[in-house]
Amino acid sequence: MSAEKEKIDIRSLSLADLQKHFIQMDEKSFRAKQVYEWLWKKSCFSFEEMSNISKELRTKLNDKFVINNVQINNSQFSADKTIKNSFILHDKHLIEGVLIPTPERMTACVSSQVGCSLTCKFCATGYMERKRNLNPDEIYDQVVLIDKQARENYGIPLSNIVYMGMGEPLLNYKNVLESVEKLTSEDGLNMAAKRITVSTAGIAKMIKKLGDDGVKFNLALSLHAANDEKRNTIMPINEQNSLKALAEALKYYYAKTKNPVTYEYIIFDGFNDNIQDADELARFCRHLPCKVNIIEYNPIAFASYLNAGEDKVEAFAEHLRRHGVNTHIRRSRGKDIDAACGQLAIKDAK
């Protein structure tokens, strides 16, 4: 075990770093490029599978490096064809990721952290302790495994990726952006950035950084109330990232990227479901081009919130539309296996 620990995580190395190691090993640097392609273009989890590499070099690689690939621990299948996966990491931590098939798209919902440091009151992951950030390759592996699952079960490859699983992506900023680069790069999976959405609970300074970095992927903000008092109640992060600060950051982000923003809004019965709430949301939407996804609430054991009735949800959405807000109602999927929005939590994690 100690020898294994001394090995270098090969996917933590850039191509330039890998080439340096190959030169030190008296190997041609172009061999490093071949190995790099096996790792990131072909999603190879074993040196033995690298068929255009000599057996001698594969032995050298195995002695010096390790591929800390993610594995599926177990999978649950919903009546609506959603598949929830428990993934096991190299250090035995568990995370969850979901395949969401619909007639229009095949979506992977991936995690960015083991647990979460935010304490959103309606979200099961928010009641877990944050153990650590995921590495870029651990996020990448979730996509690879869920894509394989989509092809094997439904004969259709992934079309979309959402960073809406466990954790707050913008608190793992560097690794999340590196994972997107691996997914979208020609040296990686070459997926379209516009098919990727990163969702945040709202960290103003990091939203501005997204603008400075000129990201090409989509940004979604979990809003759920356009009133500071109400948002503080359900999302304590709002106390340090007020709606005014978020609006300023989002305007900055839009000015830099010209990417419209999606606001996610769960309607809780008797909490944020009246016409005054809709008016506040409509006013918040005037800051920049955006759309609103109204999301059905999925009850969890830790919280007593209830989903608003369908009539109220429809009236809320129609009020927004009358005020010129592009509004969609999203029906939850995978509720019967706790795979729906806000339900991801490793049952035995403390």
Cite the active site residues: 96, 341
Q: What is the DSSP string of 116-129?
A: -S---TT-GGGGSP
Residue 274 labeled ligand binder: no
DSSP state of 53: S
Is residue 280 within a helix (H) or strand (E), and if so which, with residue range? helix 275-284
Polymer length of the chain:
350
Residue 116 labeled ligand binder: yes
DSSP state of 130: P
**Cα separation of 302 and 102, whole Å?**
29
**Cα separation of 275 and 264, whole Å?**
17
Residue 323 labeled ligand binder: no
**Cα separation of 256 and 345, whole Å?**
35
**Cα separation of 291 and 287, whole Å?**
12
CB 28 within 8 A of CB 22: yes
Residue 298 labeled ligand binder: yes
CB 122 within 8 A of CB 56: no
Work out whether the CA dihedral 318, 319, 324, 327 comes out positive or negative: negative
Residue 223 labeled ligand binder: yes
**Cα separation of 317 and 315, whole Å?**
5
CB 38 within 8 A of CB 50: yes
Burial of 230: CB neighbours in 10 Å, binned 0-12, 13-18, 19+:
middle
DSSP state of 336: G
Residue 290 labeled ligand binder: no
| Residue 274 backbone phi and psi in degrees, to 5 | -100, 175
For 26, the 3-state DSSP assignment is: coil
Binding residues for [4Fe-4S] cluster: 116, 120, 123
Binding residues for S-adenosyl-L-methionine: 167-168, 199, 222-224, 298
Binding residues: 116, 120, 123, 167-168, 199, 222-224, 298
